Structure 1
Amino acid sequence: MALITTKALEALRGMDDGKRLPDGGSMFGMVRATPDTKNPVSVDFQWRYKLNGKTRQVRIGSWPKMSLKALRDERDRLAVEVKSGTDPVQRKATEKLKIEVDQVEAHNKQLDRLEVIAQQQARLTVRQLFKLWRDLALKQRGDGGAEAQRAFERDVFPLIGDLAVADVKKAHVQNIVDTMMARDVVRMTKRVLSDLRQMFGFALDRDYVEADPTARIKKAKIGPDGERDRVLGEAELIDLLKKLPRSGMAETSQCALLIQMATITRIGETVGARWEHVDFERRLWVLPETKNGKSHQVWLSDFALRQFERLHAITGETPWCFPGSRYDPAIEKTNLPLDTKTVTKQVADRQREPGGQIAGRTKQIDALKLGGGQWRPHDLRRTGASAMAELGALPDVIEKCLNHTEENKMKRIYQRATYEGPMRDAWRLWGERLDLLTNKPANVVTLRAA
């Protein structure tokens, strides 16, 4: 019987599928067609042998994965096994069973290990959980979780930092809230409670705890935040207008503050402005969506108009007056507007106490400090409204400029006056006053004491 040659194997094609190729020595190959264009067929080789009077058959391997010589060498090796009384089929079955048993044992060991890890994780301390939460979730925040870290170091860790997460109860969280409320820091208390709730939600999702100990504590029961009444005096405004160009803030952020101040809009409405809504010729800025759900038109004073013109030279090629660095994948090649918190954070960073600098933020931590104490962008809106009143604008006109909703239902229905003229006068007078304060002559008397 002629032996198979490598050349003969290489000449096989798909039409040879199912062909039996004897090779002598009780070995033969079965041709199988494949979808591989480079190797259109493979040949599976089997070997028949007798042991204890029984004929058995064992698979040797396949060509071209194994060379013809390697296949014959394997057959010869198996023949030696059979001669010594070992059954290759039984041996392979035993080896396969052992592999399966080893895999089951390894799987069980892995399950035991995971159970131990889960038990260890369940015994995480609050400090350890915070670190894990910070590294996996808080890093998405603008400050990387630095503010939450400081708050927890001050108000949470001293009370429950070394307590196992699984042992934290509602009473522990309530104690944190009560301790903070004794200092009368309502806003900070709510912020810490919110962060605790997020952290335990993170733990709940990962089975570190079985229940959220913050779930039954409501922020509404802590009390109102308290209404801010900070109004910048004119001496402070003069100081602010001098400090702002030297504060290290981006020019666009400076424009945002000055536009907000001159138009008494909200900072979120300001940084969300689009150029298509700014009409330089008519001196109108339209806010199509506002907090009360209605559109709002702002007449631009010379002061406000100059800020928009200054801004247009920087961002006029973009759809947004204040474009951000983020992109919306649903809107190709279109920036999203600046994050509403960006300017507020920049202002806060420039009013910090010595040693309060946040890593990666400005080093000019006192660049915007004013004599009357801490201020926020929203205080500029209140300041502008107060100034309009002192310049002679009527309360109803100022409310319209602020785009407040009339609380009295009857008045809201029957009072249809739009106050367009008086509103324009209020914005004009306030803008002129800001111009005077920007370059205050010696003979200008401030309207309010600092």
Structure 2
Amino acid sequence: MPKTNGLFFSTDREIQNLKAQEKRYSVKDKLNNGLFIEVKESGVKSWHYRYSLDGKQERLVLGRYPDLSLKDARQLRDESASMVAKGFSPKKEKNKPQGVLFKDYGERYLKEVISKERKNPYNMVLCLNNDIYPMVGHIALDKISVDDVRRVIWRKKEQGYDAAANQVRGLLKRMFDYAMTLGLVPYNPVLAIPTRHIYKAVPRNRYLSISEIRIYYTTLLNSRIYRPRKLGLLLSLLTLVRKSELLRAKWEHIDFEQRLWLIPETKADSATGHSREMVVYMSDQVIEIFKELKTIAGNEPYVFVGRKSGTHISHNAFNTAQKSALKLTEIPDFTVHDLRRTASTHLNEQGFNSDAIEACLNHTVKGVRGVYNKAKYEKERIEMMKKWSEYIFNIIYESNIVFFNEARKIKEI
């Protein structure tokens, strides 16, 4: 057993600061509740709970840090202590033969359901790997309780992402529905947690005024935020594309000669679950931005390069950049997605063809018109994107002339 070095922890920061030593050691929770963290020679940190039952000491391995946070580890410790108080051994209960683990079932669900219903399961896989598996992946499917489900959902809520918490809840519900169909569980524990207690959707109507566009982009472009993030947020307003479509943009789909950007897979249609391809007609300004990004990206396949070669930036990269710039202004809160509404609102106010605007947003026209009207509005969209880029640059160019001149220096290097 590793030696306890007399140290205590009480905060997440203190745990992060624990460094590997020549021999593994353990550090106690300052609450003196039997919880401690073991630091191995390799630097791996794992949670343990030490307790006494029937005059004998036992030790239960709870999980690894940071996959299991301090708050969650303490909660698992409390649940285990409750079992000890009732005369049960948490260690023996954990070691009992189990049914199919939730993570194994999740991979089956991906293969049998998600892969057939959705052409691009990226967001589902992300949700499973980041939000669900770390919390309950190690638990047998038929042993997952309402409390386990609540822990998964409320972890996301406590991070400040109520809408995402509701999406986690929705995925869990569908997974347990299918598990019931297969006879793997007797009931669906997610039904005990109503959606209305997690998130109440409020239709958004936020868009930026002309003065807000000028102030925000002047602040953004003159900030110390990484240059590709700035250019990405500008492209979001100029092209009307979704954030997910922007961050997954590939150079193989951008044709500078034809002035076209092909997006082979967009957000799945809510009615059919299928994705549609989309074409973005690039203005002179958009082409210049992409050329600068190409200089920065080099031989990487993605326009917005991730930390590892061959990958794109994370889902939250643009969110983080957008919020960082917003904090430097007094502009009311808005999201990256609101930039699409901003463009749509101003284009409609300027009298452009509404169907062409909807086509740029890659929205489907509903009703009878949607069935019979298959026009792509190519000429209207090309002209509209040209004028929209000129309009935005007239608003923000003069106050950011140094920023745009910097692009020329990058190309000359």
Please list the CA deviations of residues 328-354 of structure 1 after superposition, one character each: whole Å capped at 9, or x if unmatched.
xxxxxxx11222221212323444xxx
Distance 1:339 1:227 in 2: 26
What is the rounded CA distance, in whole Å, between the counterparts of 1:395 and 1:114 in structure 2? 77
**1:347 paired residue number:** 322
Q: For 1:186 and 1:318, how far apart are their aligned partners in 2?
A: 34
SS in 1 for 2:311: strand
Specify which of 400, 405, 429 is matched with residue 364 of structure 2.
405
User: Which position in structure 2 is the counterpart of 1:315?
Assistant: 297
User: CA offsets, 1:376-406, max 9 Å, x none?
Assistant: 2111111111111122112211111100122
Q: How many pairs does the alignment contain? A: 263
Partner of 1:434: 392
User: Which residue number in structure 2 is paired with residue 245 of structure 1?
Assistant: 221
Q: Does 1:282 align with 2:258?
A: yes
Q: Note if 1:377 corresponds to 2:336.
A: yes
How big is the shift at 1:370? 4.2
Task: Please report how far the alpha carbon of residue 227 of structure 1 lies from its aligned counterpart in structure 2 after TM superposition.
Answer: 2.6
Q: Using a 3 Å threshold, how does the CA distance of structure 1 residues 399 and 325 change in structure 2: closer, same or farther? A: same
Deviations 1:287-332 (A, max 9, x none): 11111311111111222122112212211422211121235xxxxx
Q: Which amino acid aligns with 2:393?
A: D
Separation in structure 2 between the aligned mates of residue 193 and residue 415 of structure 1, nearest angstrom = 33
2:284 maps to a residue whose letter is D
Change (3 A) 1:231 1:426: same
**What amino acid sits opposite 2:245 in the alignment?**
E
Report the equivalent of 1:447: none
Write the distance in 2 (CA, Å) between the matches of 1:345 and 1:279: 29
CA distances 1:234-263 after superposition (whole Å, capped 9, x unpaired): 111101221112222111111111111100
Match of 1:325 in 2: 307
- 1:301, 1:427 within 8 Å by CA — same for their partners in 2? yes
Distance in 2 between residues matched to 1:432 and 1:269, nearest whole Å: 23
**Matched-pair contact (CA < 8 Å) for 2:259–2:282:** yes
Partner of residue 287, structure 2? 305
CA contact (8 A) 1:275 1:319 kept: yes
Which residue pairs with 2:346 in the alignment? 387
- In 2, Cα distance between equivalents of 1:115 and 1:393: 78
SS of 2:389's partner is helix
- Select the structure of larger CA radius of gyration: 1
Amino acid at match of 2:258: R
> SS of the counterpart of 1:324?
coil
Change over 3 Å in CA distance of 1:337–1:114 after alignment to 2: farther
Structure 1: which amino acid aligns with 2:264? Answer: P
Corresponding letter in the other structure for 2:217: L
Structure 1 segments of 4+ aligned residues over 6 angstroms from their partners: 112-115, 171-175
Q: What is the SS of the residue equivalent to 1:377? A: coil
Determine the C-alpha separation between the residues in 2 that align with 1:217 and 1:434: 49
In the alignment, which residue of structure 2 is the partner of 1:95?
none
Query: Secondary structure at 1:337's aligned position in 2?
Result: coil
Distance in 2 between residues matched to 1:114 and 1:250, nearest whole Å: 59
Change (3 A) 1:192 1:286: closer
C-alpha contact 2:294 2:303 (8 A) present in aligned 1 = yes
Instruction: State the secondary structure of the residue aligned to 1:297.
Output: strand
Residues 243/420 of structure 1: CA separation in 2 closer, same or farther (3 Å cut): same
Aligned AA for 1:314?
I
Cα displacement (A) at 1:166: 6.7
Per-residue deviation, 1:219: 5.6
CA distance in 2, matches of 1:117, 1:308: 61
Give the unaligned 5+ runs of structure 2.
1-52, 84-144, 173-186, 269-274, 400-413
Distance 1:114 1:193 in 2: 46
**Is 1:234 the counterpart of 2:191 in the alignment?**
no
Secondary structure of the residue aligned to 1:298 is strand
| Residue in structure 1 matched with residue 26 of structure 2 by the alignment | none
- Which residue is equivalent to 2:142? none
Contact 1:287-1:296 at 8 Å conserved across structures: yes
The match for 2:67 is 137
Quote the sequence identity (%): 24
The alpha carbon displacement at 1:214 in A equals 6.7
Q: Distance in 2 between matches of 1:340 and 1:189?
A: 15
Corresponding residue for residue 104 of structure 2: none
Report what 1:422 is aligned to.
380
- State the alpha-carbon separation in 2 of the partners of residues 295 and 348 from structure 1: 30
Residue in 1 that maps onto 2:238: 262
Structure 1 residue 136: Cα displacement: 3.8
| Separation in 2, partners of 1:237, 1:302 | 20
- Cα distance in 2 for partners of 1:245, 1:225 equals 32
Query: Does residue 188 of the first structure (1) align with residue 162 of the second (2)?
Result: yes
Q: Deviations over 1:108-161 (max 9, x none)?
A: xxxx9998435x77xxxxxxx8xx66x2415xxxxxx7xxx8xx79xxx9xx89
- Pairwise CA distance, 1:420: 0.9
Do the aligned partners of 2:302 and 2:312 also contact (CA within 8 Å) in 1?
yes
After superposition, give the CA deviation of every residue in 1:21-50 in whole Å (9 maximum; x if it has no partner).
xxxxxxxxxxxxxxxxxxxxxxxxxxxxxx
Residues 282 and 385 in structure 2, CA contact (< 8 A), matched pair in contact too: yes
* TM-aligned CA distance change 1:192 to 1:390, over 3 Å: closer
After superposition, the Cα gap between the structure-2 partners of 1:370 and 1:434, relative to the gap in structure 1 and judged at 3 Å, is farther
Write the distance in 2 (CA, Å) between the matches of 1:313 and 1:270: 17
What amino acid maps onto 1:421 in structure 2? K
The answer for the alignment partner of 1:93 in structure 2 is none
Say if 1:238 and 1:438, in contact at 8 Å, map to a contact too.
yes
